[in-house]
A and B are shown apart, each in its own frame.
Chain A
Amino acid sequence: MGTQSKDNPVLLRIRDLRIEGSSEDQWTEIVRGVNLTLRKGEVLGLIGESGAGKSTIGLACMGFVRDGCRFSDGSIEFDGIDLRKASRAEARALRGKRIAYVAQSAAASFNPAHRLIDQYSEGPVFHGVMSRGEAESDAVELYRRMQLPNPNEIGFRYPHQVSGGQLQRAMTAMAMSCRPDLIIFDEPTTALDVTTQIEVLSAIRDIIRQFGTAAIYISHDLAVVAQMADRIKVLLRGEEVEEADTYAMLAQPREDYTKSLWAVRSHARPEQPPVTDGTPIVSVRNVTAGYGQTIILQDVGFDIHPRRTVAVVGESGSGKSTAARVITGLLPPSDGEVFFDGGLLPPDYRKRSRDQLRQIQMIYQMADTALNPKLRIRDLIGRPAQMYLGLKGRALDDRVRALLSLIELEPEEYLDRLPSELSGGQKQRIGIARALAAEPKFIICDEVTSALDQIVAEGILQLLERLQSEFDLGYMFITHDLSTVRAIADEVVVMKEGRVVEQGPKTEMFQPPHDPYTELLLSSVAEMDPDWLTNLLAQRAAT
């Protein structure tokens, strides 16, 4: 966010870029005439939903296309070099040395076979920038600047020995190793918890400022991009929607599509009054559970009433999903009980009656892997209806059709499709229909919107809400995303390291005074204010 960057010479100029991807022997255009100008030391944010072509454009800035894609038109000029006309060797000489890349999942993008410092040194040594010895001491220096713990030692670990947030910082350090002119950040914090995200964001911002590096920052999260970028470009299906200075863009988006991206975050349903009497549909009491010797949950307890949504929030590893496994009986607790509608549930699902099993259903984060790819929609939804309710023939068919209508998918069109013939949001809807098919009273939603774009996620949340009031369902909503909590929850349970830190009605939770950990979580959610990160860091430094 160099303020003087407006007068700097142009570093990267992309004109009418067109890229095609092949699917089923046909070439379709996935980037459709994008222009882009980036000056030295400037940070440009690219934002859009999945399929907008963000990553493809980011890679194109390095003269790189993925296998199965090809440049079809346009020019990419980096510091006077035409990357489309450059030979492979010329392009390779730039990659890593003058243009570097930071990938979304550092855990997958570090080679599991080599130590971090070997991977750090590879680029500078290969490109002839430094000797091996120099590169190693430089690595330690940059690890220090990226605020990694034990900078002297951490490079000698293998990727699997380092946490996700630390790996992401190590990857940024690696991208810096040759002191490039430009770094492409491709969703570098999307896979991280909010609290970790802040650390990584501030480390990235500091280091690109220190070295005056230009950057392209790709994300689907507008609030995050706003912290990092001088300018923002909004993309939709491979085309530019609009581009503007970050402050101007946030204050007055011009295009309808951009406004709709903004609006998603403002959805919130009115909170239902807390239930004080009556039997909770599910009650978890003093549960302690774990795997083998490791204890994951410690003395956890909360109630969920019919027609209410309880959001269980916390960072990865806080025990949210383990709590769900205890309720479903997949993981019998070592201590404590789970009650359903006032009756004690057997700890092991194998000991539960078919009716008890029917009452508690789950919807999963990855609809992709939760649906059997070989079964047609008819069978995916039909099975539970057949198994739990004994429906057959015509009745079963009618039921499946009714369920499809409920989730707003046209039965005629979708009955005989395979999961692979559906979009991400549609798959998640099938996941919902499958849970509903059993006619449960209680549904556990495990990060059901985390893998979806904001607009699609919004549709899923509204559907869940409608179904809740229609069928008097109780929801346990596991999520790490606090804006989702704000949108759907009636009550909130905050978990940390296997314990419940705080719980209560949503409005109370979002208002001070908080437990310090809740406070940390809440304040870590990026806001639509370009100065949010700066102010927050200043605030935290002051206290």
Chain B
Amino acid sequence: MANIWRMLAQRLGLGLVTLFVISLLIFGAAELLPGDFAQAVLGQSATEETVAAIRAEYGLDRPFHTRYVDWLGSALQGDFGQSLANRKPVADMIGDRLANTLFLALYAAAIAVPLSLMLGILAALFRNSIFDRSVNALALTSISFPEFFVAYILILWLAQSGLFPSISRFSVDLPLGQKLYNTFLPALTLTLVVTAHMMRMTRAAIINLLASPYIEMARLKGMPPFRVITRHALPNALAPIINVIALNLAYLITGVVVVEVVFVYPGLGQLMVDSVAKRDIPVVQAVALIFAAAYVLLNLTADVLSTLTNPRLMHRR
């Protein structure tokens, strides 16, 4: 166990370094955007004097490194500065949105992860059967269509009949059942998009092991096929599956802008896109940093879980 803690500390340290590098990149990338907030706000009426005045007012005229250090210093204390567009604290603007995004991501994951594991196991069990082929075909179809298309198809089928709302009204004080009902369609869309990847990895990782001598041994001990797969193959196939799940969860948090837009869901993705359009750099930076942190954290979790499932790493000779 001491090993695990050491590894955890090591990975956390590395994660922090990664985040630091990313924060530099984010800050630098925002600098590279053509035009800045002052120009965007003033639009046609931008004269050199007005632009300079606005820059001075928001401190945009200070050199890059001082602004970066200031920004990082306060970001570390949870203060991401003020929005340039409406002068509200960025943290306030993000807070609710982050909760919404996490809610939708968890909702989709709660359906998609068990579903894809189950389908993957069944596909491996009945490999090359009609079932296997149709599950694969369906999964590939749903992953091949663009998200907005899947979303509109679902709206056509499930919202036009009045079964589910096509606009995901959402606020914190709604009862949980109502929340789940209102956001069912975006969650389903996301599920369809991420299931294929996880399902196929589960299937492939299991089938990859089926030629192993220990699988033959399990069959020769009289174990039925389902048990052979769940008890003998799956535990050895977990590492690649966990990693793919982590990647997809990260996607659910960071990559869902299109789905949010279609269902008018107030999540982080929409906020990010709006802020980019408005050159509201502090918001963009804060959201990007949150996305990066999600990636780092999920990958870290995947690494630790993969280690925990591998007796060779857990129990030294």
B31 within 8 A of A: no
Nearest chain B CB to A281's CB is how many angstroms away? 39
Asked if A111 contacts B218 (CB within 8 A), the reply is yes
Map CB proximity to B onto A113-142 as digits: 1 under 8 Å, 0 otherwise. Answer: 110000000110011000000000000000
A109 within 8 A of B: yes
B137 within 8 A of A: no
Chain B residues with CB under 8 Å of A62's CB are 220
A105-B236 in contact given A158-B311, A161-B317 (Cβ < 8 Å) = no
- Of the candidates B223, B311, B316, which one forms a contact with A112 in the assembled complex, judged by CB atoms under 8 Å apart? B311
- Of the candidates A64, A114, A127, which one forms a contact with B220 in the assembled complex, judged by CB atoms under 8 Å apart? A64
Interface residues on B, range: 20 to 34
* Count of A interface residues, CB-CB < 8 Å: 31
Asked if A123 contacts B212 (CB within 8 A), the reply is no
Q: How far is the CA of A89 from the CA of B225 in the complex (A)?
A: 11
What residue in chain B is nearest A105 (Cβ atoms)?
Answer: B213
Asked if B311 contacts A127 (CB within 8 A), the reply is no
- Of the candidates B221, B232, B235, B311, which one forms a contact with A123 in the assembled complex, judged by CB atoms under 8 Å apart? B221
Nearest chain B CB to A129's CB is how many angstroms away? 11
Map CB proximity to B onto A160-187 as digits: 1 under 8 Å, 0 otherwise. Answer: 1100000000000000000000000000
Nearest chain B CB to A148's CB is how many angstroms away? 17
Asked if B222 contacts A114 (CB within 8 A), the reply is no
Chain A residues with CB under 8 Å of B311's CB are 112-113, 158, 160
B87 within 8 A of A: no
Chain B residues with CB under 8 Å of A401's CB are none
Asked if B222 contacts A112 (CB within 8 A), the reply is no
A536 within 8 A of B: no
Asked if A112 contacts B236 (CB within 8 A), the reply is yes
Asked if A108 contacts B221 (CB within 8 A), the reply is no
Asked if B222 contacts A110 (CB within 8 A), the reply is no
What residue in chain A is nearest B217 (Cβ atoms)?
Answer: A109
Nearest chain A CB to B72's CB is how many angstroms away? 40
Chain A residues with CB under 8 Å of B312's CB are 112, 158, 160
Chain A residues with CB under 8 Å of B162's CB are none
B133 within 8 A of A: no
Asked if A109 contacts B222 (CB within 8 A), the reply is no
Chain A residues with CB under 8 Å of B35's CB are none
Stretch of A95-103, A200-208, A240-248, A387-395 with 4 or more beta carbons under 8 angstroms from chain B? A95-103
Q: How far is the CA of A244 from the CA of B155 in the complex (A)?
A: 78
Q: How far is the CA of A255 from the CA of B282 in the complex (A)?
A: 90
Asked if A93 contacts B222 (CB within 8 A), the reply is yes
Asked if B235 contacts A113 (CB within 8 A), the reply is yes
Asked if B212 contacts A108 (CB within 8 A), the reply is yes
Asked if A161 contacts B221 (CB within 8 A), the reply is no
Chain A residues with CB under 8 Å of B214's CB are 108-112
- Of the candidates B222, B227, B309, which one forms a contact with A97 in the assembled complex, judged by CB atoms under 8 Å apart? B222
What residue in chain B is nearest A93 (Cβ atoms)?
Answer: B222
B224 within 8 A of A: yes
Chain A residues with CB under 8 Å of B65's CB are none
Nearest chain B CB to A412's CB is how many angstroms away? 37
A94 within 8 A of B: yes
Q: How far is the CA of A117 from the CA of B211 in the complex (A)?
A: 23
Nearest chain B CB to A212's CB is how many angstroms away? 22
- Of the candidates A66, A96, A161, which one forms a contact with B222 in the assembled complex, judged by CB atoms under 8 Å apart? A96
What residue in chain A is nearest B311 (Cβ atoms)?
Answer: A158
Asked if B219 contacts A64 (CB within 8 A), the reply is yes
Q: How far is the CA of A110 from the CA of B214 in the complex (A)?
A: 5
Map CB proximity to A onto B204-218 as digits: 1 under 8 Å, 0 otherwise. Answer: 000000011110111
Chain B residues with CB under 8 Å of A110's CB are 214, 217
A122-B221 in contact given A103-B213, A109-B214, A160-B312 (Cβ < 8 Å) = yes
- Of the candidates A100, A103, A113, which one forms a contact with B236 in the assembled complex, judged by CB atoms under 8 Å apart? A113
What residue in chain A is nearest B232 (Cβ atoms)?
Answer: A111
Asked if A161 contacts B220 (CB within 8 A), the reply is no
Q: How far is the CA of A408 from the CA of B218 in the complex (A)?
A: 44
A101-B235 in contact given A110-B214, A113-B311, A158-B311 (Cβ < 8 Å) = no
- Chain A residues 51-98 with CB under 8 Å of chain B are 59, 62, 64, 66-67, 89, 92-97
Chain A residues with CB under 8 Å of B62's CB are none
Nearest chain B CB to A11's CB is how many angstroms away? 18
Asked if A126 contacts B223 (CB within 8 A), the reply is yes
Asked if B222 contacts A101 (CB within 8 A), the reply is no
What residue in chain A is nearest B316 (Cβ atoms)?
Answer: A161
B6 within 8 A of A: no
Asked if A96 contacts B221 (CB within 8 A), the reply is yes
Nearest chain A CB to B308's CB is how many angstroms away? 12
What residue in chain B is nearest A111 (Cβ atoms)?
Answer: B214
- Of the candidates B220, B231, B235, B317, which one forms a contact with A96 in the assembled complex, judged by CB atoms under 8 Å apart? B220
Chain B residues with CB under 8 Å of A103's CB are 213, 216-217
Q: How far is the CA of A108 from the CA of B236 in the complex (A)?
A: 13
A161-B315 in contact given A95-B222, A101-B220, A105-B213 (Cβ < 8 Å) = yes
- Please list 8 pairs of residues, one from A and one from B, whose beta carbons are closer than 8 Å in the complex, sorted by A's number: A89-B224, A96-B220, A96-B222, A110-B214, A111-B217, A111-B236, A113-B236, A157-B315
Besides A95-B222, A111-B218, 4 other A-B contacts (C-beta < 8 A): A62-B220, A112-B236, A123-B222, A161-B315
